[in-house]
Structure 1
């Protein structure tokens, strides 16, 4: 596929020809919230790896036709996900049972739009990349397209909302916590159980399948090699890993309070690097690490080495029920921190709805986090979802969203 318009050709990424050019653009493009410490990505030699785990994916590049210079790129993927719910009525034992069931639609996701700093705001490179990507989405049956961008990235917001017809849709929060040199204490009133993928799938489908953006192929996510496991927190003395009866029996008679969380290994997909920090900040960070390593029992909130490439673990599928669910989420986050420490990660991150009640159990540093990310959405065509909810772009937000780790 390819499209020529005067000086710019938009075509599919060719690893043999384009790898060096794409890496060069990636290095020169700043990623992360404006006005904060800058985050730069390193795709570990595989620019398409961030979408490769999705059911359908593509990467496009923009090339100067005469110079054969890569000046921009974009990635996209397509999946089937929940866009709402409807009530289902079933008769059982002479009684009518009413329960919510998910309504699915085919939705596409745009990520990794980059334009070389030397070619921005001229030639319409970003617009050409987005329009060609949407063309591929339509060709593959996507009914909606969405993307995430920083709320204060005015150039990006203007491109998508003013020129491409997207509307502002959801404003989740990205919560990032550093991994300290010491292990975090996990409450001894909580037992953490690792679920097998089949039990994790049952739990998610039974409890969270009507959550917005829940992927219908959740089994593929949970069985992916990048998934480090799903963990269930229950009151101490309720179950052990050996005595856990399975998700079917657990959900038939659940604990008064419980929480669940899965962990995705972004470290094997990309690394991050904080740039722009002053010498004073670097020195202070180093000092906190030295103290933390020397006196781990003090639980010093040390700053890890973020000024060279580091990896992260992404926490997803966060949910729970009961009056102590927030406390149990905090215990799971502590468990995840310790796992990240053992695996050499610099930070752990989660993305949740700004209205999510369980977000108060997720430790994070404000300086590293983004209080209001922006998701924009566009309807690409008629909605052929199973049991249509109408125009999804006009639907009110719920309390929760399910953030697919393949798209983080």
Structure 2
């Protein structure tokens, strides 16, 4: 409830005037449970950098004004809109060898909005400011034709859940896992039974569209992501024996894939914001420091020492993870090792990814449970009529699939 004589106005973010105040709110608001990733600090004083790579985005601030001269930013919210896969349909695809029409899955797209970075100054909570920001943002979503809106939070964030599910009409939708692995002082050894190729953005796009376009949340503008300067590359792992020594091109690969293979892309989140672990116990801090000291004294032991994660650090985000075949998990593990070594060269603190809890290749992703969140919570709301062809119906009520595609622009 607003204080008497105080007016809260929601307006669009002004980068020339609002940066320092918004950055202060971001730094004062923890966004994770104690002992885990708890705060994001935008680099270069650019609070809008987390969404500017999306096709359409907006940032709003809540300004409290007691009189003409006394004004203070007390809340902020970010939102973006994109078109993603919400399901799939089967369509005729010519004649097969038996003379019958074959069916091929095709993606069904929906215009989806994402709410992120909702922050209200700790001294101004329980005044309806968060609700006002969400309602204003949803109004913009509807103006742009978004059919659904979703947000992500921790299951134990009672205040956020109450706001979105009880007051804003969102429903629990998916429970992906955020998996985090520290970057050690030593490189990870990669099996010589695995060969890793880097794909061009064009080959990567073709592979993703052919193999993963029906995956839930797959972005229709995947080409924009793969050509973005923050994308460090797409890498594919195949068996070193029985396959070509050089990349044969995506067309040859799609026609003659090896028995097992895996793929992932790497996003340079370090250039967008830094992360800091807060709330860690003295015991955990001491253990981490001890591993570093012992590793420094006995480097030949190659001890997996924990890097300094209790001050701001950068990280790489792995996305587009997938693959096929009986050894796909081993291929993915090799790719994660490759990503770890690249992050070490770039002086990152961790590598992270987010996948469905039911992801078939999850066991191939190394992570530390202490720094991870194995059950994140996504909530979704239907904003209006579903403009798809009716193959999906109400997406908010659809069952979860085995995989999801996590857009790195929203991390």
Normalised-by-shorter TM-score class: over 0.9
1:341 aligns with 2:344: yes
Residues 213-224 of structure 1 correspond to what in structure 2 (within 5 A)?
A: 213-224=217-228
Task: Give, in angstroms, the shift of residue 282 of structure 1.
Answer: 2.7
1:138 aligns with 2:137: no
Task: Give, in angstroms, the shift of residue 17 of structure 1.
Answer: 1.5
Residues 1-400 of structure 1 correspond to what in structure 2 (within 5 A)?
A: 7-32=7-32, 34-37=33-36, 39-44=38-43, 45-66=45-66, 67-92=70-95, 95-121=100-126, 123-239=127-243, 243-400=246-403
- C-alpha contact 1:84 1:211 (8 A) present in aligned 2: yes
Rounded Cα–Cα distance in structure 2 between residues aligned with 1:295 and 1:246:
44
- C-alpha contact 1:60 1:129 (8 A) present in aligned 2: yes
Q: TM-score, normalised by structure 2?
A: 0.94
Secondary structure in structure 1 of the residue aligned to 2:17: helix
Rounded Cα–Cα distance in structure 1 between residues aligned with 2:387 and 2:255:
34
Count of residue pairs brought into register by the alignment:
401
Rounded Cα–Cα distance in structure 2 between residues aligned with 1:223 and 1:387:
32
Deviations along 1:247-283, one digit per CA (max 9) or x if unpaired, are 1111111111000010000000000111233444333
Deviations along 1:291-321, one digit per CA (max 9) or x if unpaired, are 3244444231211011111001000000000
- C-alpha contact 2:35 2:278 (8 A) present in aligned 1: no
Task: Give, in angstroms, the shift of residue 21 of structure 1.
Answer: 0.8
- C-alpha contact 1:312 1:349 (8 A) present in aligned 2: yes
- C-alpha contact 2:6 2:64 (8 A) present in aligned 1: no
Deviations along 1:122-168, one digit per CA (max 9) or x if unpaired, are x2011001000000000001000001100111111111000000000
Rounded Cα–Cα distance in structure 2 between residues aligned with 1:297 and 1:320:
35
- C-alpha contact 2:207 2:254 (8 A) present in aligned 1: yes
Unpaired runs of 5+ residues, structure 1, are none
Instruction: Summarize the Cα distance change of 1:248–1:95 in structure 2 as closer, same or farther, 3 Å threshold.
Output: farther
Unpaired runs of 5+ residues, structure 2, are none
Secondary structure in structure 1 of the residue aligned to 2:404: coil
Tell me whether 90-99 or 75-84 shows the greater mean CA deviation: 90-99
Task: Give, in angstroms, the shift of residue 39 of structure 1.
Answer: 1.9
Task: Give, in angstroms, the shift of residue 385 of structure 1.
Answer: 2.0
- C-alpha contact 1:184 1:299 (8 A) present in aligned 2: no
- C-alpha contact 1:19 1:47 (8 A) present in aligned 2: yes
Secondary structure in structure 2 of the residue aligned to 1:357: coil
- C-alpha contact 2:147 2:382 (8 A) present in aligned 1: yes
Rounded Cα–Cα distance in structure 1 between residues aligned with 2:297 and 2:261:
36
Instruction: Please tell me the root mean square deviation across aligned C-alpha atoms, in Å.
Output: 1.5
Secondary structure in structure 2 of the residue aligned to 1:81: strand
Secondary structure in structure 1 of the residue aligned to 2:370: coil
Secondary structure in structure 2 of the residue aligned to 1:17: coil
